[in-house]
Amino acid sequence: MNQREVHRGIPPLFTQLPLVQDSLLTETTKLQNETVDKCLPFLRGSQTSQNETLNRFGLPALKRDEHIAFLYDSLEDYPGSFVGLDASRPWLIYWALTGLTLLGEDASKFRYRVTSTLNPMQNPTGGFGGGHGQMSHCASSYAAVLSLAMVGGEEAFQLIDRKAMWRWLGRLKQGDGGFRVCEGGEEDVRGAYCAMVIISLLDLPLTLPLESEARQYGLESFTSGLSEYLARCKARSSLILLGNITNGLSMVQHRHYHTDSSASSKGDFASAFSWKYSRISTSNVPGSDTVFDEGDRLLACHPLYVIPHKAAEDMRIWFENQYLEV
């Protein structure tokens, strides 16, 4: 195998030292240089001890078993030094489950443990906190909802207090169209994106609760003023979730196709997101963009919910069939 074949998947820019280097030597630049020196042999394919793990394109093969073992371990107990991550417990669950499902593992085996862990984090006033007794936050609620989607099943879905979630999100909706990340917290596109994912997956009513402060500014729904707010923030992903971009642009970017262009009778933007995976050409032939072997393939993620397609669709369909009195 010649040098060009080995490095077909790696641009030459990443197989050599930076063309321009800072002459000022600091502890940071020293560590950076040491890291580069360790990485370059692998990028160049000259690390002989790893040759047996390189695929035909000169890239390391996916160590699937090692990754799975690491992710299983990350769902177990943590040492005391990790106490600083207590507010990130839903994220630790979400990251581990996402990795495992993309690697082909069955996340449903963790259903009892996930529901038992997340249950105390859900507040009676709506939403999930990052840990026991902590205030609800859009980010932790996002991670919790997606984790429950991945383990799936009625037990997981029924855990979520949809009505309380709806009212809580209504309190986060702002008069300029955006969302706070928590009550009294900052307003940014994180809040908008996480809120719209939750609203979509749980099939929550788009109408704002009557007590929502945003109503004082003339807003009547979660989507009111949101496209303008996101446009000011240049946030395309949330715009797609909002339903303003459901045409060729989003489909080309994500290489998916849209199977249901009709909106539901209640105007729910979520109904416009019945996505199916459109297989990307992955043949290992000259000119192909593929730089991995079939054994290294991962399960495809939904382009908007960032979890496997089936997990997202199962949750959406289940909640669409559950009447919510508000």
pLDDT, tens digit (0-9, with 9 covering 90-100), for 92-134: 999 999 999 999 999 999 999 999 999 999 999 999 999 989 9
pTM greater than 0.85 (yes/no): no
Give a yes or no: residue 279 inside a domain. Answer: yes
Q: Is 297 strand, coil or helix?
A: coil
Give the per-residue pLDDT at 253: 33
Give the per-residue pLDDT at 237: 57
Tell me the DSSP string of 157-225: HHTS-HHHHHHHHHHHB-TTS-BBSSTTS-B-HHHHHHHHHHHHHTT--SBPPTT-GGGGGT--BTTTT
Residue 236 binned pLDDT confidence (cut-offs 50, 70, 90): low
Give a yes or no: residue 271 inside a domain. Answer: yes
Q: Which of 38-47, 115-124, 174-183, 222-231 has the lowest mean pLDDT?
A: 38-47
Does 274 have pLDDT greater than 60? no
Residue 220 neighbours by CB under 8 Å, 6+ apart: 207, 208
Give a yes or no: residue 157 inside a domain. Answer: no
Q: Is 136 strand, coil or helix?
A: strand
Q: Is 238 strand, coil or helix?
A: helix
Give a yes or no: residue 16 inside a domain. Answer: no
Cα of first residue to Cα of last residue in the chain, in angstroms, is 66
Give a yes or no: residue 256 inside a domain. Answer: yes
52-87: burial string, b at 16+ Cβ within 10 Å, e else: eebbebbbeebeeeeeeeebeeebeeeeeeeeeeee
Give a yes or no: residue 261 inside a domain. Answer: yes
Q: Tell me which of 9 and 60 has the higher pLDDT.
A: 60
> Whose structure tokens read 């993309």?
102
Give the per-residue pLDDT at 65: 94
- Rounded-to-integer distance, Cα 293 and Cα 296, Å: 6
Q: Could you give the number of structural domains in the chain?
A: 1
The three-point CA angle 205-206-208 to 5° equals 95
Give me the domain span that covers residue 269.
Answer: 245-285+293-321
Give a yes or no: residue 24 inside a domain. Answer: no
CA–centroid distance for 150 within its chain: 12
133: left (phi over 0), alpha (psi -120 to 50) or beta: left
Q: Please report, rounded to a whole number, the percentage of residues in the chain having pLDDT higher than 70.
A: 76
> Whose structure tokens read 């008069």?
175
- Which one-letter DSSP state was computed for residue 86? G
- Rounded-to-integer distance, Cα 70 and Cα 52, Å: 22
Does 47 have pLDDT greater than 80? no
Give a yes or no: residue 254 inside a domain. Answer: yes
Q: Tell me which of 136 and 54 has the higher pLDDT.
A: 136
Tell me the DSSP string of 12-57: GGGGS--SS--S---HHHHHHHHHHHHHHHHHHT--GGGGGGB-TT
